[in-house]
Structure formats: structure tokens, C-alpha cells
A and B are shown apart, each in its own frame.
Chain A
Amino acid sequence: MAERMGGYLSKWGLHVIIGIGIIFPHVAGNYWIDVAVFWGIYVLLGLSLNIIVGEVGLFNMGHSAFFAIGAYTTAILSERFGVSLWLLLPLSGLAAGVAGYILAKPIIHLRGDYLLIVTIGLNEIIRITLLNNPWGLTGGPNGIIMLDQFRIFGYAIQRPIDFYYLVWAFVAITVFVLIRLQRSRIGRCWNYVREDEIAAQAMGIDTRWAKVVAFTLGAAIAGATGTVFAAKLVVISPESFTFMESVILFCIVILGGMGSIPGVILGSAGMMVLPELLRNFAQYRMLFFGLALVLMMIFRPQGLWPSRRWTTILREGEGE
């Protein structure tokens, strides 16, 4: 794994970062540990959206819909049927993945801004459906209170420090999986579709299939993240899944650098941690934030950490 990250960081740099990550919750207060937990959740969401927006170039600005489907699946099944969260993790992923597949199929041929508008609509449809409390399932605007936690041999993971390790373990697994995919036939074909769809087709790539797979996988990861989010937040309500959330996720991918995994991690830090650091400025917070975004777009439009092409030298492991 360390060797595979070689394209981004030296092995040494990676070890230092992992070390800091492990020590951090022992020196930081609960407040900052919580910030790091939410950072981790947004990294997961950013990574899932990065597959769709960054790797394949499909403009999806309704991603929190899939996050919502995952969170509500978890909350409903846990509260009504007492299903274990470990089981709900893949189940929520599956539910969101199936939803993503069904929703993507008819709209995936749309390009650029057209797709963007449809996904915004999708987001709103899901949110309003949740608000309307269909069959008394979603609890309307009040949402659902979910008391269950992830348990390891009966030990409930609910202290911030435990949750911190849980979330970042999920991040590590997701990063590992996504790096494997990036370096594979599947990840490459996503990039070909992003670069030039007609050329990709002429090379024998079923672009429609590639796009639907990416959309489904992105939705599934967002759905599974919904389980983690539900466990952390306890109360799941529609206001967590607004259009604004989707915009933030979209910004994470663009800010970090499309298709770049470290970019997403940095981008979510920019969107989640920076506002916390600026909290002292109270009402000027959003102003600073907006200014930072504008400056970014002027001076570094390719993102904080743009994705690097993977060269044959790195591929053969000859240097770092």
C-alpha cells in the first residue's frame, strides 16, 4: 500500500502522516477529535463523489441524495428491526447503489450541465420525499432517532476517540480500494471516458457501462458512509441532506483536484476543518471562506493537489 501511494508521497512522508493520525486523538480535545471525525466522513463522501465527478467527469450535484438513502436505510432498519450496524454498512451501500443504478440508467447519456441540473432535481426529490414521511417510515422533518452503535464484542463505539479510529479506518480501506481501482483497467477506462467519449468508444470501451458502474459505485460508497454518519449523529433528519451538502461535496472534489485522492482529503479539510478554525471570526467566517474559494479558482484552478499521471517509472517501482 505504501509503495502504491508512491505516486503521491514518499513512503517516509506517508508513515509520518499515519503516525500523526494515530497520536492525534490522544493529545487533542474532544472537540477537535469530533472535527476530525466529520472530516473523515466528508473524506469518504468526497472520495465517493470523486469517482463520479473526478474520474469519469460526470457532473453530479445531487450526491447527498445517496448519502441520505444510506443513512435512512440504516436508521429505519436499525430502529424497526434491530439489524446490526455492521450488517447495515453493506446493506445501506447496496440500497444506495441500487438507487444510483436505477436513477443513473435513464440520465447517464446527458452531458455536462444537463446532467448537473437533473442530479440537483434528484437531490430535491429525495429530500422532499423524506420530509413527507412516506408510510410513516422517515419521521418527516423530525427524522429518526437511532440509538444503536457499532459494537465490537459488545463494546459500543461511541466515545469520540473510538469513533475517530473507526472512521479513519474506513477511510484507509476506501483509499486502498480506490487506488487499486485507479490503477486497473476499470479506473483507466473511466479516465478515457472523461477525456474523450467518442475516442473511448472507438477503442472498444462501452462508455455507457463505464459511466453507470462509476455512478453506482459512487452512490454505494456514499450510502455506506450514511451508516457511519447515522451512528455518529444519532438523529437523522432531512436537513442533513440538503442541496447545500451536495454543493459542499462538489466543491471538495473541485477544490482538491479532480480525480486526486489526496486532493479529496485536502479538499475536505478545506471545506470542514477550515471553517472550524475560522469560527472565532463568527459572522465573517463565510466571507473568508468565499474569498478563499475565489482566490483558489484564480490562482490554482487545477485544485490543491491535482491528480498526477502515473508514469511507467513509478509503475515499475524504480523510484519515488
Chain B
Amino acid sequence: MRAQEQVLLKLNKLTKNFGGLKAVDVFDLDVASGSITSLIGPNGAGKTTVFNLITGIYRPEAGSIKFDGRELIGRQPHQVAKAGIARTFQTLRLFENLTCFENVLSGQHCRTCSGIMSSILGTSAQRREEAEVRGEAERCLKLVDMWDFRDELARNLPYGYRRRLEIARALATRPHLLVLDEPAGGLNEKESADLMELIQGIRDSGITIFLIEHDMQVVMGISDWVAVMDNGGKISEGTPYDVQHDARVIEAYLGTDNDDDLYSEASQAAGQRDTNVPDNKSYIGNTAGSAGEESEGEDRT
């Protein structure tokens, strides 16, 4: 069934190192057109790094990213957005001192073309474009049910609305693929449920969705396809049902009995040393976390 679907985004042998750490290690993934695909994994597995590679914030050491058949590697973030991939950020990045309406208008920038002279002269083409841009921003704000907040500064919004505003802003770029980095992070149950509905609505309007999420209720509830990452590589993928029952996934999240046995055997053999042996898995997880997940491209320049 999956083989027949059209692939919108194809990640092929993607690799990214931070110093000696392999944040993303020969990672393959296909995102089917019109699907909701989720990427899950323990903290520090390299999920956000994958997103930053797709959106051009990082450059991979190896591999390719094909979007709609075109290679994305080497493109600047703004070119990726123009190509039709919009994103949200794990740590929200709204334009805090601008109104919600202005925030959403930003998405239209790459779809419009009026320059300095036409803006100064107020040519008819420029006026027409402005009217279109405002109409589109209005549509996006209404889609996330935030039209009443249009004149409110982004920094004054409650948290749940900030998340929705970021989605509206991303939608305003008229993307083919919407990349959401933990959209349900910090939301309560009611807000999460609303968000799931919103995401499904966006998918139904024809936009493919690729998301990272920790809230398993959200992931399993809306995804058509789930990929699981650990230590930079893909350990499993399939329908939500398949993934939930995959032994490797359970191992990555919870560890196994087997693991514990090995660990206790090893510690017995080592005698006194056992207090100094760190839990291998969480140790790797933490380092990858500090290098890959949190930086969000901040120190790029």
C-alpha cells in the first residue's frame, strides 16, 4: 500500500556530525505526499537535527534531501521556504513585538514580489498584491481560529495561542510540506486535542505534514506513518500500530529486560566499579541532546 503512494520528501543516507558526535547517522526516510508522518524517538535521538537539515539551517556531511524530485542540499533556509517547506520551531520563534496579523503576513513575503519603487509609488500592482496578502493572512488566522487576536502583540498571547500562531504563520507561506517541531509541547489535553484536529484539517486541505512529537497520544492518534529514531539512526518505521509493537522501539524507549540482565552481570563482574558505570543509553542521549536538539541553529554564524 505504501509503495503506491507518491513520495514528497525523500531523505537518503543523511549524515550530520557535530565534532565527533554523529547526530544524524545515515538516515533514510520517505514522507508520502498527503500523509501525516511523525518522527519520534528519545531525547537527543537527532530529530530536530533532521528538521534543521531539511530546512537548510544545517548542511549535512553526506546524503541527499529530495523534495518533489529537487535536491534541497546547499539551499539557504529562505530558498527552502520558497520551494514549499514551512516549519515551526520547538522553542517558539515568533516576532514578539509585532501583531499577530503582521506575524502571519511574514509568510507571504516569499510569495510576493513588489520592490522598493513600487512600494513608494504605490502602483496598482502593489496595491493589488497588498490586498491579496492581507486576504491570505486573514484566511490563515481564521483557520487557526485567531482572527480576534489579530491586533494583539505576539508576546502578549497565552502559550497555546502562540503555538497556533506559529502554525498560521507557516501556513501563510503556502507550503506543500509543513514541518512541525513538537507542536503539542507544553499544551494541555484540551489544547492538544484541538491541535490534532487542526493538523488533520491542514492535511485534508492537501498539505503534507511531517512532525516531531513526544506526546504519544497525538502521534498515534493522527499519524499515517511513524518513524522512530535513536542515536541518529532509524530503528523502525511503519503504521502507528506496527511501531507500537516493535520490540526495538520498546527497547529504545524503555530498555529491555535483557539489557538489565547484561548490566547486572557486568556490574557483578566488575565488582566495586559498578557505581561508576554510567547507563550507556542515557549517557549517549544526553550528549546528543545538548549538541543537536537544543542549539536550533543559534550558533550558525
Interface residues of A (CB under 8 A from B): 109, 111, 177, 180-181, 183-189, 191-192, 195-196, 198-207, 213, 217, 309-313, 315
| Contact (Cβ within 8 A) A312 B150 | yes
Interface membership of B98, Cβ < 8 A: yes
Question: Looking at chain B, what size class is its interface with the partner chain?
Answer: 35 or more
How far does the alpha carbon of A193 sit from the alpha carbon of B95 in the complex, in Å? 9
| Contact (Cβ within 8 A) A200 B76 | no
- Distance of A83 from chain B, by nearest CB (Å): 25
Q: Which of B115, B134, B297 contacts A198 (CB 8 A)?
A: B297
Interface membership of B30, Cβ < 8 A: no
Q: Which of A184, A196, A312 contacts B95 (CB 8 A)?
A: A196
Instruction: Point out the residues of chain B lying under 8 angstroms from A205, CB to CB.
Output: 78, 106, 109-110
Interface membership of B96, Cβ < 8 A: yes
Number of A-B residue pairs having CB atoms within 8 Å of each other in the complex: 121
How far does the alpha carbon of A291 sit from the alpha carbon of B277 in the complex, in Å? 62
| Contact (Cβ within 8 A) A192 B78 | no
Interface membership of B163, Cβ < 8 A: no
| Contact (Cβ within 8 A) A177 B120 | yes
- Distance of A186 from chain B, by nearest CB (Å): 6
| Contact (Cβ within 8 A) B110 A202 | no
Known contacts A180-B122, A213-B116: does B96 contact A204 (CB below 8 Å)?
Answer: no
Interface membership of B86, Cβ < 8 A: yes
| Contact (Cβ within 8 A) B95 A195 | yes
Given A198-B298, A200-B95, A201-B78, 16 more pairs with CB closer than 8 A: A111-B301, A181-B116, A183-B119, A185-B130, A186-B114, A186-B116, A192-B109, A199-B93, A199-B94, A202-B89, A203-B78, A203-B110, A205-B110, A207-B78, A309-B97, A310-B99
Interface membership of B55, Cβ < 8 A: yes
- Distance of A187 from chain B, by nearest CB (Å): 8
The closest CB in chain B to the CB of A313 belongs to B151
Known contacts A198-B93, A311-B99: does B114 contact A203 (CB below 8 Å)?
Answer: no
The closest CB in chain A to the CB of B88 belongs to A202
Interface membership of B81, Cβ < 8 A: yes
Instruction: Point out the residues of chain B lying under 8 angstroms from A202, CB to CB.
Output: 55, 77-78, 81, 86-87, 89, 93, 170
How far does the alpha carbon of A199 sit from the alpha carbon of B95 in the complex, in Å? 8
Interface membership of B26, Cβ < 8 A: no
Instruction: Point out the residues of chain B lying under 8 angstroms from A111, CB to CB.
Output: 301
Interface membership of B173, Cβ < 8 A: yes
| Contact (Cβ within 8 A) A204 B81 | yes
Contact digits for B119-151, partner A, Cβ 8 Å, 1 yes 0 no? 110100010011001100000000000000011
Q: Which of A198, A200, A201, A309 contacts B153 (CB 8 A)?
A: A309
- Distance of B233 from chain A, by nearest CB (Å): 26
Known contacts A184-B130, A198-B57, A202-B55: does B122 contact A309 (CB below 8 Å)?
Answer: no
- Distance of B266 from chain A, by nearest CB (Å): 44
| Contact (Cβ within 8 A) A109 B110 | no
| Contact (Cβ within 8 A) B116 A203 | no
How far does the alpha carbon of A310 sit from the alpha carbon of B102 in the complex, in Å? 9
How far does the alpha carbon of A262 sit from the alpha carbon of B172 in the complex, in Å? 32
| Contact (Cβ within 8 A) A203 B122 | no
How far does the alpha carbon of A183 sit from the alpha carbon of B114 in the complex, in Å? 12
Q: Which of B106, B112, B129 contacts A203 (CB 8 A)?
A: B106
| Contact (Cβ within 8 A) B102 A188 | yes
The closest CB in chain A to the CB of B110 belongs to A204
Instruction: Point out the residues of chain B lying under 8 angstroms from A199, CB to CB.
Output: 89, 93-95, 106
The closest CB in chain B to the CB of A111 belongs to B301
Interface membership of B176, Cβ < 8 A: no
Instruction: Point out the residues of chain A lying under 8 angstroms from B116, CB to CB.
Output: 181, 186, 213, 217
How far does the alpha carbon of A109 sit from the alpha carbon of B300 in the complex, in Å? 11
Interface membership of B82, Cβ < 8 A: yes
Instruction: Point out the residues of chain B lying under 8 angstroms from A312, CB to CB.
Output: 99, 101, 150-151
Interchain residue pairs with CB less than 8 A apart (8) = A188-B106, A192-B106, A198-B298, A202-B170, A213-B116, A217-B116, A311-B99, A312-B101
Top 9 nearest A-B pairs (CB, nearest first) are A204-B110, A204-B81, A184-B119, A195-B95, A201-B77, A199-B93, A311-B151, A203-B106, A206-B78
| Contact (Cβ within 8 A) A195 B98 | yes
How far does the alpha carbon of A200 sit from the alpha carbon of B133 in the complex, in Å? 17
Interface membership of B107, Cβ < 8 A: yes
How far does the alpha carbon of A299 sit from the alpha carbon of B56 in the complex, in Å? 43
Instruction: Point out the residues of chain B lying under 8 angstroms from A196, CB to CB.
Output: 93-96
Known contacts A177-B120, A199-B94, A201-B76: does B126 contact A184 (CB below 8 Å)?
Answer: yes
| Contact (Cβ within 8 A) B107 A203 | yes
Instruction: Point out the residues of chain B lying under 8 angstroms from A203, CB to CB.
Output: 78, 81, 86, 106-107, 109-110, 169-170, 172-173
Q: Which of B102, B119, B120, B170 contacts A309 (CB 8 A)?
A: B102
Instruction: Point out the residues of chain B lying under 8 angstroms from A188, CB to CB.
Output: 102, 105-106, 109
Instruction: Point out the residues of chain A lying under 8 angstroms from B150, CB to CB.
Output: 311-312
The closest CB in chain A to the CB of B116 belongs to A186
How far does the alpha carbon of A198 sit from the alpha carbon of B94 in the complex, in Å? 10
- Distance of A318 from chain B, by nearest CB (Å): 12
- Distance of A90 from chain B, by nearest CB (Å): 14
| Contact (Cβ within 8 A) B55 A204 | no
How far does the alpha carbon of A280 sit from the alpha carbon of B293 in the complex, in Å? 62
